[in-house]
Amino acid sequence: EVQLVESGGGLVQPGGSLRLSCAASGFTFSNYAMSWVRQAPGKGLEWVSTISGRGGSTYYADSVRGRFSISRDNSKNTLHLQMNSLRAEDTAMYYCAKASFTNNGWHDYWGQGTLVTVSS
Amino acid sequence: QPVLTQSSSASASLGSSVKLTCSLSSGHSNYIIAWHQQQPGKAPRFLMKLEGSGSYNKGSGVPDRFSGSSSGADRYLTISNLQSEDETDYYCETWDSNTWVFGGGTKLTVL
């Protein structure tokens, strides 16, 4: 059974940093691209970032490029999102999601999410 | 990059059928999309992947009441024999080389 468990969310001041993690199990982690997708309160889903299965390719939404960094540790089946220079508009539930292919594809499994609140 | 357009809301009666639409932007009519369901306060759930041909593959445990179809740039999610638990939000998704896109979502009301 595929399981994705996020952690690391919390309350942070504007300009601060936070590191999210996602522990994966139930599938061969290195064979699939992984993504972070967020959802601001009362809003729709917004893609944030994706990393290829081996970690060689990373992709970012314009809204976070240069501030966020995605990475993965295939030896530990773990995905990370380093978030710097956080802004109020980054406040959202952050979901870890598994892609259907090694480098891209639709998302076929989702974690339960971790909440990030950026406020002074 | 592609843009996905969904109606913000839809409604249908208990026990009836409803067809939700996701429209791909010009130049992207052959793209594969995915449908996701999101219950209030919960994570999204993958329902199916849907091709331009109308061929679809559902996720694990998705009831037979859910089906997909396509016509040109439009992708459809049909829910038959509507149940009260189907009243929630539905999102479509696609991707293009290095960008992923979600539609704005449709809130389905079961009358």
pLDDT digits (tens, 9 = 90+) for A72-84: 999 999 999 999 9
Contact (CB<8Å) B44/A95? yes
What local confidence, expressed as pLDDT, does residue A36 receive?
98
**Closest residue by Cα to residue A38 from A120, A119, A118:** A118
Q: Which of A59, A97, A111 shows the shortest C-beta gap to B99? A: A59
Distance from CA of B43 to the nearest CA of A (A): 5
Contact (CB<8Å) B102/A45? yes
Instruction: Say what percent of chain A tops pLDDT 70.
Output: 100
Rounded Cα distance, A10 and B46, in Å: 26
pLDDT digits (tens, 9 = 90+) for B24-39: 999 999 999 999 999 9
Is 90 exceeded by the pLDDT of residue A7?
Answer: yes
Is 90 exceeded by the pLDDT of residue B97?
Answer: no
Rounded Cα distance, A91 and A109, in Å: 23
**Residues of B with CB below 8 A from A95's CB?**
43-44
Contact (CB<8Å) B91/A46? no
**Residues of A with CB below 8 A from B44's CB?**
37, 45, 95, 97, 107, 110
Q: Are the beta carbons of B102 and B87 closer than 8 angstroms?
A: no
Q: What is the mean predicted confidence (pLDDT) over A72-101?
A: 98
Distance from CA of A42 to the nearest CA of B (A): 10
Contact (CB<8Å) B34/A47? no
CA B4 and chain centroid, separation = 11
Residues 6 or more apart in contact with residue B48 via CB below 8 angstroms = B34, B35, B56, B57, B58, B59, B62, B66, B68, B77
Q: Tell me, yes or no, if A113 comes closer than 8 A to chain B by beta carbon.
A: yes
Contact (CB<8Å) B100/A35? yes
Is 90 exceeded by the pLDDT of residue A27?
Answer: yes
Name the percent of chain A in helix, strand, coil, to the closest 5: 5, 50, 45
